[in-house]
Structure formats: structure tokens, C-alpha cells
Structure 1
Amino acid sequence: MKQDIELPAFFEDYRAALGETIKECVHVNTERASTGTFDSKFGGHPYFPKGEMYPVDEKGKPMRLLAQINFEQVPHIRNYPKAGILQFYLSRFDKHYGCSFGRSIEQKNYRVIFFDNIETDESKLLSDFSFANADEELFPIKSEGKLTFTKDTQIITANDFRFAPLFGAEDIEEHDDELEQYFEMYDPFSHLIGGYPNFVQYDPREYHHPELTELLLQVESDNTLDIMWGDCGVANFFISLKDVKNKNFSKVLYNWDCS
């Protein structure tokens, strides 16, 4: 995104403030395909060293891989890892896909795991994941997908809880038409690393975790891979700037919403 961004008329008076929000992001592109052990993916089987404790939910049942991001395959953006494998797991037996809807960062029915040093000897990695399969399970992804990445920049989305304060005492809701134009221009739903999130309803961080300013991953509903969050919703994972810089993924907020 160029610095000379296009804005609806009302927002012109706030060009400088909005320009300050521009930040790097990575768009995640999906393709329905089989994946290798070290590939970035949605669904499928994870990279997982033997001897490590496989993630289980609060009932002790093995969780299933939602997403795996190999940062060596991702264009680097500021503050995010340059290497290592980041994984997102969800409970297979929770009707809300392991989500507490914006309140808790206790990873009871979801888990975020980071492997900083990658074991390349596949004989030392798990290859049989039948223990994590089940005939009856609840999971938002039905098909395995390989991921590729495109680096970009992004301006703050209108759904982000930090958007309205940029306008001070001005009630932006009174400018419906131009706000709708802004939504159409800068609030597209997409799979995303970094940048700014989107929501079907509202940003849960405003009331519960405003310190979690960084978008770690966004996964939208996607017909390509049969991904569905409720009624065509979107899922987000958030982390603090300090923790993402330090590669500490123990305090990550997971939320999804739909209409």
C-alpha cells in the first residue's frame, strides 16, 4: 500500500493519523493440496518431534492442527520470527472449536506452539497421527491446504478497537456512507499474518485484552478448503508486541465470530 492512500472525503482531515497506522502484513494464499512435514498449511498433519508432549484439550483428548506456519517460507515482517515453525491447535470435541469468545487466554481447548530449532531428521518426527483422528469431531476445516505468502502493507481496519479513538470527539458513526466506503476499501476479509484484523461483529480486545495489539494469524471462512466458522465467520489470534518479539506464545487470545 502506498503512503498516498485514497480516502473517503470525511477521512481526509485525519490523513496524517491514519497514515501513521500503516504497517506490514502478509497475505496467506490457499491451495487445496497435500503437504509435506515442514510445509506451511491449514489442516493436515503437523511437524512434531518424538518425545515432545502432544497438545491435548482440557478433557485430555488430542487436539487437531488448524494451521502450521513455517516462517522460513514467509516474507519477513518487522517483529515477527524469521525462522521456526508456529502451530495452532484446536479441540476436536468442543462445539465452539475451543474458543471462549474473547475473554480467556488460558489455552485449555486451543494451543499455540512454536518450534524455534527444527529437527530435519524425519526419523525423529511423529509420522502416525491416527491417535488424533476421530469419526465424530467438531472442526472448522474439512480439507488440507498448502499455503503461500504475499507481503503487503495495510492501514488500520475500521473494526479494530483503536480506529474510533483516532477521530477524538468526532462520532464517526454519523458519517455512515463514508464509513461504509472505508469498510469496502480497507476491511476485506482474508487470511492474514500481521497487519490489522477484521470481524463480523466486534473487536473483543477492547474490553478484555487491549494489550494484545498484534495479529498473529487470521483465518477466514474459505470455500477452497471447506473452512467454515459458524455462519461464514472469521477467526483471529492476537499477541502482545513484547511477546511476539520474544517468541513467547503462551499468552495468545483466540476468538472467532460470525453473523
Structure 2
Amino acid sequence: MIATLGPNMKENFELPEYFEKHRAVLKDTIKECVDIHAEKASTGTLDSKFGGCPYFPKGMAYPLNQEGNPLKLLAQINFEQVPRLNNYPEKGILQFFLDPCDELYGCSFDENTEQKNFRIIYHEEIETDESKLLSDFSFVKVEEEMFPIESEAKLIFTKGTQIMPAGDFRFDSLIGADDKYEHYAELERYYELYGSLSHKIGGYPGFTQFDPREHYHKDRTELLLQVDSDDAIDIIWGDCGVANFFISEEDLKNKDFSKVLYNWDCS
């Protein structure tokens, strides 16, 4: 779960002793996020969801992988159902499609901003006439164990705030923590307090290994979506990993989802 901070905790949030000297700096990292709780359920065409069938207008080119095979919906976010976040859309439907026939779930770790086997689609204006929407997605074929989610899930959103976790690529330079591993117990406590594995929009990411933005994608500072492994709704990334989608602040403001960084890792 996200370690959220209530309004009255922004001054008095808990810190292990080693991190107390960095309280003011860490306080400045507190930012809003939206926690996502997912439950197995059938969903409507326009609903936010994991899995299931997407909203998709007839006549619009359906997303395909490099071989010309249809991609499958991982997640659909209807922003009219989401609490307001600064710079994020206030309306429209944002969709995340992955290759359902790829053991890497459509991710190319060397070229993970190139939407060859995954696709991000944003529908700013929504068609509500069901007769103008696709209803049969039987043409999308899924190979066994090649897609991270087996079920369809409805999404429930809750707004919160979050402090920067220790796994973020900016954390060490922010606090100058060259000696942090000499305080291993306190570092572990910080991870326990402010770890970041969950389903969410905004805030800070979590990883089972390391932040992929550290060397090549430092401008992708905004977490567009995180989807964690979740037994309750039959999601698993490799060996119980987590997937992240990142975007630059400028592209987010401009609703340009063509250069999103997609990554997942597992232990």
C-alpha cells in the first residue's frame, strides 16, 4: 500500500533518527497521488478498469504489435472518475495496451519509450452512443501466461499525499546520503514507512529492483500509472513484480502520451 500522509502529518511525519536532519528537505517532496483499489467485477464501457474490454470508437485504428497482432487492454482510466491531480487530465479516457503474446508483456527494456508492442491512447472527447463503439473484441488473442492480468477489475480512487521513497533515483542526491548504508536499520525503517508498491496515479513509484530513469530518462518525473502484482484480482508481473508508466511534466501538461516510459521489474 502507499504510505500516505494525512493533512495533520505534513509537519510531524515519522522519520528514523538518521533522516531527521533532512526533515525540511523531505517535507518539500510531499506530493499528491491517487491510490487505486481494485476489485474483481464487470465494468461498463466508459468505466475505469484493469483488464476487460476497452472503450473504442468504430473506425479508429485498433493498436497492433510489430507483427500486426492486436494488443490487449491492461488499464483504462476515465479521468472524470478520478480525484483531481495537478497537470493530469480532468476528463477523457486514458488507455494502456500491451502485447498479449509476449513473455515480456510488450516491454522492450532497451527501447522502453518506443510504443512498438505497447500503446498509450488518450481519448479526450468521449462518444457515448454505444452503437458507434466496438463491442466485440474476440479478435484479440491472448497466449497462456503471456499477459499479466487474468481478471476484470473495477477501480476505486482515493486521493492522498506521499513523501519521496528511498528507491527514487533523486533521493540520494536530494539528501546527500553517501553514508546511508552505514545506517542500514534506519534505512530499512524508512523503506517500511514510505515504501511505494501499490496501484496508483501520481506520487512516487515503487520498484522491486531499481529506478530505470536513473541514467537515461531523468525527465520522466511524473508517474502516469503504477500497476502492482495483486493476488486479489489475478495480476502478476513475472515473479511478483510491479509495472510503471512515466511521463515528463511538459508532456503531461500537453496531454502528449507518445513518449511514455514503460517498465516493469520483479525480484
Question: TM-score with structure 2 length normalisation?
Answer: 0.94
The answer on whether the counterparts of 1:106 and 1:251 sit within 8 Å (CA) in structure 2 is yes
Report what 1:139 is aligned to: 147
Report what 1:22 is aligned to: 30
Match 1:256 to one of 252, 260, 264:
264
1:157 pairs with 2:147: no
Count the aligned residue pairs: 259
Alignment RMSD (CA, Å): 1.2
The answer on whether the counterparts of 1:212 and 1:238 sit within 8 Å (CA) in structure 2 is yes
> What is the Cα deviation at residue 174 of structure 1?
1.8
> What is the Cα deviation at residue 204 of structure 1?
0.6
Match 1:33 to one of 25, 28, 41:
41
1:81 pairs with 2:89: yes
The answer on whether the counterparts of 1:27 and 1:191 sit within 8 Å (CA) in structure 2 is yes
User: Whole-Å Cα distance in 1 between the matches of residues 144 and 185 of structure 2?
Assistant: 46
Structure 2: runs of 5+ lacking an equivalent: none
Between 1:133-142 and 1:11-20, the stretch displaced more is: 133-142
1:112 pairs with 2:120: yes
Change (3 A) 1:87 1:199: same
2:64 alignment partner AA? V
Identity across the alignment (%): 64
1:3 alignment partner AA? K
1:191 alignment partner AA? H
SS at match of 2:232: coil
> What is the Cα deviation at residue 103 of structure 1?
4.2
1:123 alignment partner AA? S
> What is the Cα deviation at residue 110 of structure 1?
0.5
Report what 2:180 is aligned to: 172
Report what 1:71 is aligned to: 79
The answer on whether the counterparts of 2:100 and 2:143 sit within 8 Å (CA) in structure 1 is no
> What is the Cα deviation at residue 171 of structure 1?
2.3
Report what 1:214 is aligned to: 222
Question: TM-score with structure 1 length normalisation?
Answer: 0.97
> What is the Cα deviation at residue 170 of structure 1?
3.3
SS at match of 1:175: helix
2:218 alignment partner AA? P
Change (3 A) 1:134 1:3: closer
The answer on whether the counterparts of 2:101 and 2:142 sit within 8 Å (CA) in structure 1 is no
The answer on whether the counterparts of 1:103 and 1:208 sit within 8 Å (CA) in structure 2 is no
SS at match of 1:161: coil
The answer on whether the counterparts of 2:229 and 2:235 sit within 8 Å (CA) in structure 1 is yes
1:155 alignment partner AA? I
Structure 1: runs of 5+ lacking an equivalent: none
User: Whole-Å Cα distance in 1 between the matches of residues 144 and 182 of structure 2?
Assistant: 48
User: Whole-Å Cα distance in 2 between the matches of residues 56 and 29 of structure 1?
Assistant: 29
Change (3 A) 1:209 1:254: same
1:51 alignment partner AA? G
> What is the Cα deviation at residue 167 of structure 1?
1.9
